[in-house]
């Protein structure tokens, strides 16, 4: 008898698409209840596909899947909020979304292992990019810091990473785990500006007024520390991170009446 798996439904963020054969795609989804899933969308590249336009990168969807022998099969898709359509023509935000999607995939190495906190962080970051309320570089660094916190890798920012002495501390060491006091400072530790450490703390804690008011020089320094800390723990670089355009210095959107 032919194998027929059970049907199940979940909310998901589309992380990545890969071509399969002449008309299919493998879709990497980050789901609310089932973690990261790779599933086949059959015939989705045909112009007659019923849901091809809903399976675009970075979108929030409601998806029905059927269990398969190796890969599950997408049988139905409803768009909840297709963020990708609002990011395609904005290069800085598109590159940031790509880095967020790759990070989410790297931080979920085991398929179908739920990670609700990281899922909600990923969905929230995509929504923040689409709403354009904060500079895209700030959204990325806030996401990376909080995602590292969910993974147990959060850098120490308000206390010494080694001995726990309350700060602020001027030195920062990625191998040591973040800010370090003078007694624990290892050779080669950097000395970022105090405002850079404050910005990183604001992003990690969700203090957006402080983050939005930060200066570009401190944003660039913070971005370098966040990226270095993440890639130290991942043990290899993110492919998408060097492509991120960090020249987006837009402030909170000011809507005007038409």
> What are 10's strand-pairing partners?
63
Q: How many angstroms separate the first and last alpha carbons of the chain?
A: 62
- Asked whether 188 and 174 are in contact (CB, 8 A), the reply is no
CA 42 – CA 66 distance, rounded (Å): 12
Task: Give me the residue label for tokens 């570089």.
Answer: 137
**What is the pLDDT, as a whole number, of residue 249?**
53
For residue 189, what pLDDT is reported? 93
Q: Over its length of 258 residues, how does the chain's per-residue pLDDT go in tens digits? A: 455 678 999 999 999 999 888 888 899 999 999 999 999 998 887 766 777 678 889 999 999 999 888 899 998 999 899 998 889 889 999 999 999 999 999 999 999 999 999 999 999 999 999 999 899 999 999 999 999 999 999 999 999 999 999 989 999 999 999 999 999 999 999 999 999 999 999 999 999 999 999 999 999 999 999 999 999 999 888 899 888 877 655 434 444 333
pLDDT of residue 258: 34
- Report the predicted TM-score, pTM, of the whole model to 2 decimal places: 0.89
- Residue 166: per-residue pLDDT: 93
CA distance 232 to 210: 27
């Amino acid at each position: 008898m032919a194998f027929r798996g059970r049907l199940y439904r979940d909310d998901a963020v589309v992380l990545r698409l890969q071509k399969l054969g002449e008309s299919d795609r493998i879709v990497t989804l980050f789901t609310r209840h089932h973690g990261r899933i790779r599933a086949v969308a059959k015939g989705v590249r045909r112009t007659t596909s019923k849901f091809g336009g809903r399976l675009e990168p970075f979108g929030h969807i409601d998806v029905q899947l059927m269990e398969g022998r190796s890969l599950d099969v997408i049988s139905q898709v409803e768009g909840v909020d297709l963020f990708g359509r609002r990011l395609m023509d904005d290069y800085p935000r598109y590159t940031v979304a790509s880095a967020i999607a790759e990070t989410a995939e790297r931080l979920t190495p085991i398929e179908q292992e739920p990670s609700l906190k990281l899922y909600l962080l990923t969905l929230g970051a995509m929504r923040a990019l689409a709403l354009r309320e904060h500079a895209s570089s700030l959204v990325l660094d806030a996401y990376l810091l909080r995602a590292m916190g969910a993974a147990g890798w959060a850098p120490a920012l308000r206390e010494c990473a080694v001995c726990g002495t309350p700060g602020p501390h001027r030195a920062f060491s990625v191998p040591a785990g973040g800010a370090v006091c003078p007694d624990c400072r290892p050779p080669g530790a950097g000395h970022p500006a105090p405002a850079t450490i404050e910005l990183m703390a604001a992003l990690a804690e969700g203090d957006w007024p402080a983050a939005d008011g930060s200066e570009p020089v401190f944003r660039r320094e913070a971005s370098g520390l966040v990226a270095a800390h993440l890639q130290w723990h991942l043990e290899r670089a993110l492919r998408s991170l060097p492509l991120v355009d960090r020249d987006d210095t837009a402030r909170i959107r000011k809507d005007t009446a038409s």
